[in-house]
A and B are shown apart, each in its own frame.
Chain A
């Protein structure tokens, strides 16, 4: 039974780390996309 607990801990921590990383990448990507949008809108207004 203890074995299952260890197994569960190992898998959940691994997936947790990977998902946090993927999440951080996608969040940064979103921020940049928003920025690009802002810039292109500003340029559109300008011209």
Chain B
């Protein structure tokens, strides 16, 4: 059980540290807000076919602001020099990975709750009736994104051109996940039953599990020098 305690300690210190400044959370929320507004200009709201694009807009907002959080996940540790302190702790690489991943997941969830409420108002779509299936899809998507994102955050933290590198590492790998997310969200927002999204949910679950397993197997190689 000490393993869980240690993982939780990493999550706790990331969250406490972030809540002191709120720098990252605020910029993530603000950014997704902006994405919603910009897309509103880009696709004229008056048009009837907006509904087809709407789940795409939502996920673009989630993913782009999620990337901001990811970049900082290991980036800050690297910049402030605390990364070595963390690596010196008697915990397996997998523990460090989990701690960081859960932290990112929580930050993203907070941002997504905020974005979803803004979205409800700006795009005039009541999400309350779909909250349960939508929540499940967002959970799976955020988990998958945090899973691969944390691996690449650790990788890009030590490379040149860190932020650019992070996005070009994340996007090709997350392509299937993004397709599944947009499709499933679209079905739900259209008023479809959850049964219709099963094939997409299966892909999401498979994606999450496969990459969690791969992260477990390979994370040690990423943080060693």
A–B contact (CB under 8 angstroms): no
